[in-house]
């Protein structure tokens, strides 16, 4: 490993939250750190704040008082860019405006040494464009830290079109030496995390706009049903609705307004109203003192059926439901419905209970269908969403609710919609990941690492593709596409190739 030595100076330009966090990381790693900001006095204030953070680390026992004192002596504010001349690495964390970043690096090129590495912390702009005006763009690389930088381990190391391999390797090794987990990726809109994570937000917003369920219920289904640490509405409130919407819009524009990345009008209206989330006191939820959080839609207790019929094998991870049902003391018999190839559970009242397949329950020719949503682990899940066809009676639905409640699950009954909530979200994330890997954006291993560490996913989407099978994901998205033409749900050809290869292996 060839990292920048700790005797070499690291300079950080831009002293907001991210700039301070990056400076703290380099400082704790042992480097002399120099801070610069165009606003007079801001760098000195940032240095004082970083020292206060180090004080808190001492109080918590994370670092020693001697380490804190040594770090303090290595930290200094700069009054001009010229004072960064001896830096071996300059990381910018200024406004997400391309002209400003280009102007900064053009000025730095006349100040720093020829072997100084120039890095941008941009989250959505093109690294290639940032370096485009440099005489030597090969030494410019993306180093995208995640907020808060001292705590989150992931760093995306982005190679622009002209980035030298040696520069990217040096940036990667330096991030690793700082105790971070770097991943390599090419210069594509959104890089890894902000590209592949778009469906997590976009599908939730689409479901909300379709009046399928309210934000609290959508969050609960994804959080309690699939293991995401936070639901998309509470997460975007934490990130900032303005920040999340800006990234979505930037990626959409960068992909030439591809319908897969279309922003949400509902989120746009929220941003226009100034309801930016926690920092504003209100976003999708109210964060004012004493405000009650809305509860997710949860079905009242219903009696469990004494027995159910099983027709064929339930698909994917739903296969474990037979075992869970029997463990709950409910008898499972064999259902012999002629002409049906899909695996489903037959309820005592005659309704069929089946995993969502991308079609709404009402579209099934049999009529009495209830769809349940996808979970990656039905044993661990604590909530399941159900959607019933128009032909299903209240008694039929109560049997389905009671069945899942007997398995220890809370149940949210939502409106009948293709793909429901979790299935369409996870399928889209998998498709984005498979497509990104096929296009060489990042390796499958780095994609999974990035999504687990960058946004705390309960697993990697490439692992999910293996677990669910590419054919199942393709079928669900293809079904949704035929009902929602326009391109949003067209599955990628990379997913089709993966499904074909799986079939050949079998």
DSSP 135-182: S-GGGEEEEEE-SSTTT--EEEEEE-TT--HHHHHHHHHHHHHTT-EE
User: Which residues are within 8 A (CB) of 241 and not within 5 positions of it... i.e. 6 or more apart?
Assistant: 267, 270, 271, 275, 276, 277, 283, 284
For residue 487, which of 252, 213, 266, 269 has the smallest C-alpha distance?
252
pTM equals 0.95
pLDDT at residue 342 in the model: 83
Residue 156 among the catalytic residues: yes
The SS3 of residue 307 is strand
Report residue 297 as tokens: 């839609």
Query: Mean pLDDT for each consecutive 10-residue tract of the chain (506 residues)?
Result: 92 96 97 96 96 95 94 96 97 95 97 97 94 96 96 97 97 98 97 97 97 98 97 96 94 95 97 96 95 96 97 92 97 84 92 95 85 97 97 96 98 97 98 98 98 96 97 97 94 96 79
For residue 153, which of 118, 186, 119, 183 has the smallest C-alpha distance?
183
Place of tokens 């301070």: 20
User: Backbone dihedral region of 334: left (phi > 0), alpha (psi from -120 to 50 degrees) or beta?
Assistant: beta
Q: How far apart are CA 425 and CA 414, in angstroms?
A: 15
DSSP-assigned beta bridge partners for residue 113? none
The CA-CA-CA angle for residues 283, 284, 289, to 5°, reads 60
User: Which residues are within 8 A (CB) of 367 and not within 5 positions of it... i.e. 6 or more apart?
Assistant: 389, 391
**DSSP states of 337-403:** -TT--S-EEEPTTS-EEEE--SS-GGGSTTS-EEEE---S-TTT--EEEEEE-TT--HHHHHHHHHH
Report residue 496 as tokens: 């089709």
pLDDT at residue 341 in the model: 76
pLDDT at residue 363 in the model: 86
The tens digit of pLDDT for each residue in 284-341 reads 999 999 999 999 999 999 999 999 999 999 998 999 999 999 999 999 999 887 767 7
Letter string b/e over residues 495-506, b meaning 16 or more CB atoms within 10 A of that residue's CB? beebbeeeeeee
DSSP-assigned beta bridge partners for residue 384? 411
Out of 126, 194, 264, 412, the active site residue is 194
pLDDT at residue 506 in the model: 60
Out of 31, 92, 121, 144, the active site residue is 144
Residue 96 among the catalytic residues: no
pLDDT at residue 331 in the model: 97
Out of 121, 123, 159, 357, the active site residue is 123
Q: How far apart are CA 20 and CA 178, in angstroms?
A: 15
Out of 92, 109, 156, 245, the active site residue is 156
Q: How far is CA 395 from the centre of its chain?
A: 39
Residue 311 among the catalytic residues: no
pLDDT at residue 337 in the model: 76
Residue 147 among the catalytic residues: no
């Amino acid at each position: 490993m060839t990292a920048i030595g700790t005797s070499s100076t690291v300079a950080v330009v831009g002293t907001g939250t991210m700039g301070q966090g990056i400076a703290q990381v380099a400082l704790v790693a042992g480097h002399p750190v120099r801070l610069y900001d165009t606003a007079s006095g801001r760098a000195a204030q940032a240095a004082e704040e970083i020292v206060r953070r180090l004080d808190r680390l001492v109080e918590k026992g994370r670092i020693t008082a001697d380490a804190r004192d040594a770090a303090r002596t290595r930290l200094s504010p700069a009054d001009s860019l010229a004072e960064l001349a001896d830096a071996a690495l300059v990381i910018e964390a200024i406004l997400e405006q391309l002209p400003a970043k280009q102007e900064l690096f053009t000025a730095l090129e006349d100040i720093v040494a020829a072997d100084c590495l120039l890095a941008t912390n941009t989250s959505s702009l093109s690294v290639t464009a940032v370096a485009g005006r440099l005489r030597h763009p090969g030494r410019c690389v993306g180093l995208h830290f995640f907020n808060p930088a001292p705590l989150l381990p992931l760093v995306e190391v982005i190679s622009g079109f002209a980035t030298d391999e040696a520069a990217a390797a040096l940036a990667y090794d330096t991030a690793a030496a700082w105790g971070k987990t770097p991943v390599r990726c090419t210069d594509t809109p959104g890089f890894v995390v902000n590209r592949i994570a778009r469906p997590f937000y976009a599908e939730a917003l689409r479901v909300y706009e379709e009046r399928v369920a309210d934000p609290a219920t959508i969050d609960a289904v994804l959080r309690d049903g699939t293991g995401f640490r936070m639901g998309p509405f509470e997460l975007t409130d934490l990130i900032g609705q303005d920040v999340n919407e800006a990234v979505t819009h930037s990626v959409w524009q960068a992909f030439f307004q591809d319908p897969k990345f279309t922003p949400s009008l509902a989120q746009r209206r929220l941003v226009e109203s100034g309801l930016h989330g926690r920092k504003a006191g209100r976003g999708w939820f109210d964060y004012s003192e004493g405000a009650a959080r809305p509860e997710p839609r949860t079905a009242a207790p219903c009696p469990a059926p004494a027995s159910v019929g099983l027709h064929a094998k339930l698909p994917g991870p739903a296969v474990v439901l037979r075992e869970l049902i029997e463990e709950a003391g409910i008898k499972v018999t064999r259902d012999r419905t002629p002409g049906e190839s899909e695996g489903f559970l037959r309820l005592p009242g005659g309704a069929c209970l089946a995993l969502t397949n991308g079609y709404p329950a009402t579209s099934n020719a049999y009529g009495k269908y209830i769809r349940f949503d996808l979970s990656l682990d039905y044993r661990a899940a604590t909530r399941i969403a159900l959607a019933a066809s128009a032909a299903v009676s209240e008694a039929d639905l109560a049997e389905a609710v009671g069945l899942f409640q007997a398995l220890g699950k809370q149940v949210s009954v939502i409106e009948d919609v293709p793909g429901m909530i979790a299935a369409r979200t996870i399928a889209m994330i998998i498709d984005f990941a498979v497509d990104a890997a096929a296009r060489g954006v990042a390796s499958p291993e780095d994609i999974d690492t990035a999504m687990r560490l960058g946004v705390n996913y309960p697993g990697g989407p490439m692992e999910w593709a293996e677990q669910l099978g590419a054919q199942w994901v393709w079928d669900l998205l293809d079904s949704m596409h035929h009902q929602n033409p326009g391109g949003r749900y067209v599955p990628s050809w990379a997913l089709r190739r993966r499904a074909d290869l799986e079939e050949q292996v079998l």
